[in-house]
Amino acid sequence: MSYKKTMILPLIGCVKDIRNYEKFLYIYDYSKEEEHYGNLLQCLQKLKGDLLEDETVLKVKGEA
């Protein structure tokens, strides 16, 4: 699907169709354009926190 690369994506219809997407994707959602940047930033901060806990998290999620 992602060639073993962890991806950051907005929660759109095709992502919702993927079974267990939360196990291997970083997802953010927004309902208004003004929310897009802030919610993306929160998702990136989650990614940063995950990396600080385990530097292999991107590889592990990419292989899921």
How many domains would you assign to the chain?
1
pTM (two decimals): 0.83
**Residue 40 covered by a domain:** yes
- List, for residues 9-44, the tens digit of each pLDDT value: 999 988 888 888 888 899 999 999 999 999 999 999
Give the residue numbers spanning the domain of 39.
7-63
pLDDT band at 45 (very low <50, low <70, confident <90, very high): very high
Dihedral pair phi/psi, residue 30, rounded to 5°: -155, 150
The Cα–Cα gap between 10 and 36 comes to 9
Please count the other Cβ atoms lying within 10 Å of the Cβ belonging to residue 20.
8
**Residue 45 covered by a domain:** yes
**Residue 34 covered by a domain:** yes
Q: 47 vs 6, 17, 24, 60, CA distance in Å?
A: 10, 22, 12, 13
**Residue 2 covered by a domain:** no
Dihedral pair phi/psi, residue 19, rounded to 5°: -70, 130
**Residue 1 covered by a domain:** no
What's the token pair of residue 59?
């590889």
